[in-house]
Structure 1
Amino acid sequence: MKEVNKTVKWVLWIIWLAVFPSGLYFAYQVSPLQEFDWTIVISVVCLAVISAYLPFKVDHSTIFIIHWINLAAFLTYGLFFEMLLMQIVLVPLLFRARMTFKTLYRFPLNSTMFMLISLLAGLVFYQIGIDVSDGFWPLMLASGIYIFIHIFANHIYLYVFNWIIGNRYSFLSSDTKLDYAATMLSMPFGLALYYLLVLLGPAATLLLGIPFLAVTLILRLYNTAERVNIDLAKSAKIGHQLAERLNVNEVLDLFTNKLAELMPLDYTYVLDVHTNRDELVLLRRIENGQLEPNNLSPVRKGEGISGKVWETGDAMLFGKKTEWVEEVEGYIPADIESIICVPIQRDKKTVAVLLAASKKKNAFGTHLIAILEILCSYLAIAMQNARNYQRNIKRSERCALTGLYNFRYFNEQLEKEFSRLEKGHMNALSLILLDIDHFKKVNDTYGHESGNDLLKELAGVLIETAGGDALIARYGGEEFVLLLSEQTKEEAQMIGEKIRCAVENTIFEIQHDLSKKREMSKIQMTVSIGVASSPEDTDSYKNLLRNADRALYIGAKQKGRNKVAVYAK
């Protein structure tokens, strides 16, 4: 929804200043308010004001059914009274629609619209030439035309205005059709109110008004209950979808996307509890439908809205800025009005916090707290399951000692990359096999645990030296293997030489477990490296590994160690 600029707002006020007094004057000339019963006037005004303040919702449509009352007012006292009534009704309508100072332009917009539409509908009614004394059916036909002009002209007026300011939408949406149907169906109530006013006076507004308002309230309650049931069904469906995701980012993406479908959201923040640092850290940040970086400062327990929700474990709901502005500490967008903040709990313990916000006032119903608490419990379980799954996957893929990939995972990736090579999706695939020179001597001198420490340190050197270019795995014992996609044999040889030099120039620090004092010792070591490539050397992924092994032992180990050797046919 595009905002109305200042120029358009000033134009609306200027038009209103020109139309309002002249419109009232013209209406009075056409249909002056002469003899009238003050009790009837007051009762009709009261009924209209109450009806305007009690709309009901069907799906996402807010319906104000007041045209039946202004029809009765028009038939009873003419155009001038009906026009005055519509201007009075405008106040509770805008108040109920939560008009702010920023949207004050809606008053001249709607006031002018009501006045022009009343004039158009009244003049057409008079031109038809049907009088209230002409009988029921002619009056019903004229009344139907009068009501239709009201709703159709209202539709055209708002559509054209939105088109001018750049808000384009379907001319005849489902909400518009619903508004047409509800307004036209209210026309018989307007005729009935007119006849009863003639017969009973102000008592007619009670006779028809009370049942009508009661039905409106029942529809509101029914729609609220229906909305709760629908949202509960949606939350259960979302819960099942979350349970199917086994990646934390996928879980968060699905949750925030579905949340935006469930609620009128402009901002969504998911904050994770870090108990070791006693703070909330941002996991996901959605602003105006866009994923933003998680670069906001952490929140301490008890600080701001999310910090208090973490501390108390209780949800918080605010309908407008004045309610929460004193609660806020740190970052929050200036255009937020409504806020709902819910703890994400697992086993009755808060593990994260959800803060959702809207630019509209009173955007969230109180029933959404219960819905969100259910959804957040699904989220907590889904995230934990995804983290456990990813942790287990990592364990199954990684060497427990070095943190590098294990050979089983490496072999799977080698097959996949070789398949890509065979299908022409890459031009070269190279492999580096590395072995520590005289590693047995390290174990015999310093102890096997010290040897393990050395393996861990070497893994760090490999990651630092070639981690950006290669998939690195522990082949077994003191051997390591690197898979290089889209790297030729010459490029792989250069990377191997870079690794060899890095290892040779590194001083490794390990504990001397076999000495009495178990002091820290500094040692240096070297590695021998074999390189093979495909399709240059072989067309089989198994042979690629064998060729690298052959280059390692024949080309490097047997020729003095601390060398990089390439496979030669």
Structure 2
Amino acid sequence: MSDKKNISIWLIWLAIFPPSMIYLYFTIEPNFTGYWFDIIAFAIVMCAVAVFPIQVGSITIFFINGVSFAVFLYFGLFAEIILTQLALIALFIKIRLKKTEFYRIATNSTMLFLTSIFAAVVYYALGGTHGVLTLNTMDQIIPLVGYIIGSIAVNQILLALIDVYVKGNKFEGVPRSLLVDSGVTAMIFPIGLILYILYLQIGLAAILIVGFPAILLSVVISTHHKGRRINRYLHDTSNIGHELSKKLNVKDVLDTFVAKVHELIPMSYIYVYDITNSSRSMNMIRYVSDDESKQLEDISLEYGEGFAGMIYQDKSPHILVKRSQIDKISNLEIPDEVNSVVGVPILRNNLTVGVLVIASKRKHAYEKYHLMLLEILGNFLSVAIENARHYQSEKNKSQRDRLTGLYNYRYFTEHLESYALDLEEKESTEKLSVILFDLDSFKKLNDTYGHEAGNEVLIELAQRIEAFVGEQGLVARYGGEEFTVLIKGYSHEEAVMFAESIRSMISQESFNVKSHMLKQDEPIDLYVTASVGVATYPDHCESPDELIRQADRSMYVGAKRNGKNCVASAEQAI
């Protein structure tokens, strides 16, 4: 919230509440002589009820209306306002407002005050009085009904105004949370009426007889609501697990996990660490902050270092809800503004393979059930990452050449066929070119220096070609000492120039070979050349499927038979 809006809220409170209370005091001239113990007992009950609220949407509901109704009927408006404000203070002490939320004191105090005033105005307008009421005539019943309806109506209007003005939300009709608040309030008022009637009959004892069940009811409803909320969290957690199981690479797993956890649990920061058990070091592999402008450098921690390192060392979850607790950790990696942090180890086969940490700027932001949720989510994340890595490993085995790490012939042909089908369906005229090259006299190199030396050349060549081509095309090992490159959107003349650049790059720079059969122990430098063939669709074939055959033919007919170490176009082989 902006400082300007914050100041305006407090100015509104200062303009309304203190002057009005002074005016009411001198106008009503309340006198509670002989009833101070009763007033204090009502206040204790209201404060006790207030500390067990339930959260529905953005609204905090606490069940003081019944008790405050009884206070209003017997002692009047001034007493009801004072006790309601005391209950509000008890609520805010319980939920531990942070400094940035202090505006809620002013907004809620003003809202409850105005609700009391307008409900009382309706009550008085309908002829309502205070003290001992028989409640057996319509003259006394109608004001009661008017008070209840007025209180609910004004309260909902003010809540809607706060939601629009203070929170900046767009008004789109009455939200479910307001309806729930109205329903709960309507149910609580009869309890207040019973308390009032009993108070008339037996005095202070009525506060104990009705007040204790009212407190117990608040506890039961609050606990039930909290249980339902946890069940909903568990259901959402299960859905996250299902969602993660569908992801087939680690990046997607982490992206989905972080996004879903951010929706489920309130946080300012989330960290995911990966552990290399051989070195006992931790590397941060994912970090998200609610402040998108705040960038964080990669974090590396050692065993036992910082909050995450402590979790790694202890192999157990930790939850800290005050900054004084956090500051006791040495080599802390948590930002200074964090006041609550919770972390769990990510386990696999009883080994800690990672650490998950979430942090909040709020004090006491996390409870034990958050820890439970994170442990479940950590298990889901561990399984999902393992599955994604296994899938990627198996996929690489089927798609990648084991020696060079390039795509293999099978993947290259399947990719070409798939892309050709896509072009055909779109009736696209995009040009495709295949560059096929074969190392010259490679058998002689193997015979002279050994197959290990030949493998070194192939591995280094693959790295050079992949770096040279980059995002411009797809590189694959065609077989043996043959390689192929697929490029898209190039004219045939441009493709031939690109192939010439590859040929030149291969021939001009030597390959440093260590594993050779020569007697000398030092590495040797070898130079190799390549014969290159180029074919382009649709210039040289009617279908992209024929590209490899045309490029292969141009390489042998146009390059190998013409002295090697040159580039031949499919046009030369026709």
User: Shorter-normalised TM-score: what interval?
Assistant: over 0.9
| Residues 336 and 146 of structure 1, relative CA distance in 2, 3 Å threshold | farther
Please tell me whether the aligned partners of residues 446 and 511 of structure 1 are also in contact (alpha carbons under 8 angstroms): no
Instruction: Give the Å deviation of 1:189.
Output: 0.9
**2: CA distance, partners of 1:291 / 1:234:** 29
Q: Quote the residue 1:543 is aligned against.
A: 546
Q: Quote the residue 1:262 is aligned against.
A: 264
Q: SS of the residue aligned with 2:271?
A: strand
Q: Quote the residue 2:213 is aligned against.
A: 211
**2: CA distance, partners of 1:275 / 1:462:** 34
**2: CA distance, partners of 1:261 / 1:512:** 55
Describe the superposition over 1:208-244 as per-residue Cα deviations: whole angstroms up to 9, x where unpaired: 0111211222223333333333333333333233223
**2: CA distance, partners of 1:193 / 1:137:** 19
| Residues 306 and 514 of structure 1, relative CA distance in 2, 3 Å threshold | closer
Most deviating of 108-117 and 205-214: 108-117
**2: CA distance, partners of 1:117 / 1:70:** 12
**2: CA distance, partners of 1:346 / 1:526:** 49
Instruction: Give the Å deviation of 1:331.
Output: 5.0
Instruction: Give the Å deviation of 1:298.
Output: 1.6
Q: Quote the residue 1:567 is aligned against.
A: 570
Describe the superposition over 1:112-132 as per-residue Cα deviations: whole angstroms up to 9, x where unpaired: 333333222222211111345
Describe the superposition over 1:514-554 as per-residue Cα deviations: whole angstroms up to 9, x where unpaired: 43456533221211111110101101234211211121111
**2: CA distance, partners of 1:323 / 1:349:** 27
**Correspondence list, 1:422-501, <5 A:** 422=424, 423-425=426-428, 427-501=430-504
**Correspondence list, 1:290-369, <5 A:** 295-327=297-329, 329=331, 331-369=333-371
Please tell me whether the aligned partners of residues 416 and 545 of structure 2 are also in contact (alpha carbons under 8 angstroms): no
| Residues 298 and 425 of structure 1, relative CA distance in 2, 3 Å threshold | farther
Residues matched between the structures, number: 566
The one-letter amino acid of 1:546's match is R
Q: SS of the residue aligned with 1:538?
A: coil
Q: Quote the residue 2:84 is aligned against.
A: 86
**2: CA distance, partners of 1:509 / 1:10:** 72
The one-letter amino acid of 2:224's match is Y
Describe the superposition over 1:30-50 as per-residue Cα deviations: whole angstroms up to 9, x where unpaired: 533235422211211111111
Q: Quote the residue 2:160 is aligned against.
A: 159
Q: Quote the residue 2:94 is aligned against.
A: 96
**2: CA distance, partners of 1:329 / 1:243:** 35
Residues 1:24 and 2:27 aligned together: no
Instruction: Give the Å deviation of 1:59.
Output: 7.6
**1: CA distance, partners of 2:104 / 2:514:** 78
Most deviating of 345-354 and 52-61: 52-61
| Residues 120 and 134 of structure 1, relative CA distance in 2, 3 Å threshold | same
| Residues 100 and 244 of structure 1, relative CA distance in 2, 3 Å threshold | closer
* Residue of 522, 534, 537 corresponding to 1:534: 537
**1: CA distance, partners of 2:213 / 2:546:** 88
| Residues 137 and 433 of structure 1, relative CA distance in 2, 3 Å threshold | farther
Please tell me whether the aligned partners of residues 272 and 286 of structure 2 are also in contact (alpha carbons under 8 angstroms): yes
Describe the superposition over 1:162-218 as per-residue Cα deviations: whole angstroms up to 9, x where unpaired: 433461144521111111110111111111111111111111111001112112222
Instruction: Give the Å deviation of 1:8.
Output: 3.5
Describe the superposition over 1:236-255 as per-residue Cα deviations: whole angstroms up to 9, x where unpaired: 33323322322112212222
| Residues 429 and 293 of structure 1, relative CA distance in 2, 3 Å threshold | farther
**1: CA distance, partners of 2:522 / 2:22:** 104
Most deviating of 289-298 and 304-313: 289-298
Instruction: Give the Å deviation of 1:274.
Output: 2.6
Please tell me whether the aligned partners of residues 555 and 568 of structure 2 are also in contact (alpha carbons under 8 angstroms): yes
Q: Quote the residue 1:387 is aligned against.
A: 389
Please tell me whether the aligned partners of residues 286 and 292 of structure 1 are also in contact (alpha carbons under 8 angstroms): no
Instruction: Give the Å deviation of 1:276.
Output: 4.5
Q: SS of the residue aligned with 1:299?
A: strand
Q: Quote the residue 2:114 is aligned against.
A: 116
Most deviating of 461-470 and 73-82: 461-470
| Residues 169 and 507 of structure 1, relative CA distance in 2, 3 Å threshold | same
Most deviating of 367-376 and 11-20: 11-20
- RMSD of the TM alignment (CA)? 2.5
| Residues 115 and 458 of structure 1, relative CA distance in 2, 3 Å threshold | closer
The one-letter amino acid of 2:467's match is E
Instruction: Give the Å deviation of 1:58.
Output: 5.9
| Residues 456 and 441 of structure 1, relative CA distance in 2, 3 Å threshold | same
**1: CA distance, partners of 2:295 / 2:478:** 38
Q: Quote the residue 1:508 is aligned against.
A: 511
Most deviating of 369-378 and 331-340: 331-340
Q: Quote the residue 1:194 is aligned against.
A: 196
Q: Quote the residue 1:287 is aligned against.
A: 289
TM-score w.r.t. the length of structure 2 is: 0.92
The one-letter amino acid of 2:228's match is E
The one-letter amino acid of 1:379's match is L
TM-score w.r.t. the length of structure 1 is: 0.92
| Residues 133 and 205 of structure 1, relative CA distance in 2, 3 Å threshold | closer
Which structure 1 residue ranges, 5 or more long, are not aligned?
Answer: none
Q: Quote the residue 2:124 is aligned against.
A: 126
The one-letter amino acid of 1:208's match is V
* Residue of 235, 252, 255 corresponding to 1:253: 255
| Residues 543 and 91 of structure 1, relative CA distance in 2, 3 Å threshold | closer
| Residues 33 and 293 of structure 1, relative CA distance in 2, 3 Å threshold | closer
Describe the superposition over 1:292-345 as per-residue Cα deviations: whole angstroms up to 9, x where unpaired: 877333222222211211111111112343432443745544543332211111
| Residues 291 and 484 of structure 1, relative CA distance in 2, 3 Å threshold | farther
| Residues 540 and 119 of structure 1, relative CA distance in 2, 3 Å threshold | closer
The one-letter amino acid of 1:159's match is A
| Residues 302 and 567 of structure 1, relative CA distance in 2, 3 Å threshold | same
Describe the superposition over 1:455-499 as per-residue Cα deviations: whole angstroms up to 9, x where unpaired: 212212212322332211111111111111112211111111111
The one-letter amino acid of 1:93's match is L
Please tell me whether the aligned partners of residues 285 and 292 of structure 1 are also in contact (alpha carbons under 8 angstroms): no
Please tell me whether the aligned partners of residues 30 and 79 of structure 1 are also in contact (alpha carbons under 8 angstroms): no
Please tell me whether the aligned partners of residues 296 and 331 of structure 1 are also in contact (alpha carbons under 8 angstroms): no
**2: CA distance, partners of 1:199 / 1:500:** 105
Which structure 2 residue ranges, 5 or more long, are not aligned?
Answer: none
| Residues 425 and 202 of structure 1, relative CA distance in 2, 3 Å threshold | farther
The one-letter amino acid of 1:89's match is A
Q: Quote the residue 1:37 is aligned against.
A: 35
Most deviating of 144-153 and 532-541: 144-153
**2: CA distance, partners of 1:241 / 1:542:** 38
Q: Quote the residue 1:135 is aligned against.
A: 135
Q: SS of the residue aligned with 1:65?
A: coil
| Residues 104 and 511 of structure 1, relative CA distance in 2, 3 Å threshold | closer
**1: CA distance, partners of 2:514 / 2:8:** 83
Q: SS of the residue aligned with 1:515?
A: coil
Instruction: Give the Å deviation of 1:99.
Output: 2.4
Matched-pair identity in %? 35
